[in-house]
Amino acid sequence: MVTILWFKRDLRVQDNAALRLAAGQGPVIPLYICEPALWALPDSSGRQWAFLAECLAELARDLAALGAPLQIRTGEAVEVLDALRAAHGVRRLVSHEETGNLWTFRRDRRVADWARRAGVAWQEVPQPGVERRSPGRDGWAARRTARFRGPLLEPVALISVAALSDPLGGGAIPADLAPPDTCPARQIGGRTQGLACLGGFLTERGRHYRKAMSSPLAGEAACSRLSPHLAFGTLSPREAAHAGAARQAEVKGARDGWRGSLASFQARLAWRDHFMQKLEDAPDLERRCLHSAYETLRPATPDAARLEAFFAGETGVPFVDACMRMLAHTGWLNFRMRAMVMSFASYNLWLDWRATAPLLAQRFTDYEPGIHLSQCQMQSGVTGMNTVRIYNPVKQGHEQDPDGIFTRRWLPELAEVPDVFLQTPWAWERAGTLLGRRYPHPLVDPAESARAAREAVHAVRKSAGFRQEAVQVVRAHASRKPPRSRRRKPARFDARQLDLGL
């Protein structure tokens, strides 16, 4: 019997449980489906597709070496799968369990219905860090740790279907599946690049990771930069964790920064799965606030001028604008700056997170729905369980860019502004020669807008029934942090999940 091995966000042959399962069932058709409807969504972009296309090219070479060429088909998933079923007598479908956006969740529902009707047995292989139909958060971390300690899976030979034996594979990778966008400095896709990132981080770049990750300037090199490779699966999270553990054993006892940085790296791999689990448990997270009391907190129709200025890096608040311009150019930001720009959009500009989240997702080459959607809600104060944390962009600019190197790199029009006024050019005595001419006046007063936002969010927390629902949100989604003392205390939410520095 013929098995289709459906690749989605697991574009590798190493440590791929779905590949191992399919290989043991007879002839295999490795398949990637290019879905136009997916790439027409507002959270998809040309930079993401370009990265993925590079991953597919390398995956095709690796699969050909294992004996079965990758088949690339463009169309709606059910139609593609059914055509292969009819042509080759397919009776099995194997894939990993995908935790993606709501569109992919609904697509998988349609595939499941088709498989039942067509008599195709669909086996979905669990991801090591995420539990489908999880029994709950109690004990989740321990179960995740146990799965990660298992051995990595080596690739195995595949038996190709005779009619698909062309070593070059079937079907071309579309060049323009998503509208192209300009991202000159985006990362390059493919497993070779992912391994180079991992190796360079663990042996050279990562020594000062713990200290440097918060700076958009230092973090550009000090962070692992593995996020797009984990998002599209050229590396498995277990591979990263195992490699990190091996490096931890090598530097045991050292006092040069490596021990703390590697411990932080492992912690953030765990937090990654924590956020992925939230979306797995609540697939509609991209459309509703985690706590329903916040549904009408902000206008459903966003201020179009503010929205446009935010994404153009023209808000008049330098550190925010510098970050947004870096994101447009590179497809990446460090975790603290992601939190800050989302906080600014939600609190200071008072834009609903559902308006900004998909447009931000477009700009991230490493867009991972489970992390992105959870972070957007957290930084907008709509979860009902997280501390309301409103970043002060002026303060962040002074702390994270004290010499103004980062800000001036991305805002060259501020080159002549003295350091003391760089983050508040409106306070400069020569502001009249700059603002409204080469750089915009600030859209909002950062302090006043933050104060008004804080009052509005806290007012919701005082509403009837808020606490009761918040307890349910915590029970379903919060991490379980062990008590720090011997006294018996309930596990509580750990605010460190704000910090994802991959």
Model confidence pLDDT, tens digit, residues 401-451: 999 999 999 999 999 999 999 999 999 999 999 999 999 999 999 999 999
Q: Which two tokens stand for residue 297?
A: 């907190």
Q: Is residue 160 within 8 Å of 68, Cβ to Cβ?
A: yes
Q: Return the CATH number at 105.
A: 3.40.50.620
CATH code: domain of residue 272: 1.25.40.80
Is 493 annotated to bind a ligand? Reply is no
Q: Containing domain of residue 398, as a range?
A: 292-477
Instruction: State whether 300 and 430 are in the same domain.
Output: yes
Residues 299 and 216 in one domain: no
List residues bridging with 74 in a β-sheet: 34
Q: Are residues 196 and 77 in the same domain?
A: no
Does residue 152 lie within any of the structural domains?
no
The answer to whether 209 is a known ligand-binding residue is yes
DSSP string, 248-303: HHHTTT--SSHHHHHHHHHHHHHHHHHHHHHHHH-TTTTTS-SSGGGTTSS-SS--
Same domain (yes/no): 263, 296: no
Residues 403 and 301 in one domain: yes
Residue 449 and residue 339 share a domain:
yes
Of the three residues 111, 127, 143, the one that is the final residue of a domain is 127
Q: State the pLDDT at residue 489.
A: 46
Average pLDDT across the chain, whole number: 93
Q: Is residue 312 located within the same domain as residue 276? A: no
Q: What's the CATH number where 356 sits?
A: 1.10.579.10
Sequence-ordered list of residues with C-beta below 8 angstroms from that of 101, at least 6 positions apart, any chain: 41, 43, 286, 369, 373
Considering the domain architecture, whether residues 196 and 59 belong to the same structural domain is answered as no
pLDDT band at 255 (very low <50, low <70, confident <90, very high): confident
Query: With contact defined as beta carbons under 8 Å apart, do 31 and 40 qualify?
Result: no
Q: For residue 502, name the pLDDT band (cuts at 50, 70, 90).
A: low
Whether 334 and 461 share a structural domain: yes
Q: Are residues 348 and 418 located together in one domain of the fold?
A: yes
Q: Is residue 270 part of a domain?
A: yes
Q: Residue 7's pLDDT is what?
A: 98
C-beta separation of 189 from 47 below 8 A: no
Overall average pLDDT of the 114-142 stretch: 95
Q: What is the DSSP string of 101-134?
A: -HHHHHHHHHHHHHHHHHT-EEEEEPPTT--TT-
Q: Can you give the pTM of this predicted structure?
A: 0.93
Residue 168 has pLDDT above 90, yes or no: no
Token code pair at residue 407: 């800000």
pLDDT per position as a tens digit, 317-374: 999 999 999 999 999 999 999 999 999 999 999 999 999 999 999 999 999 999 999 9
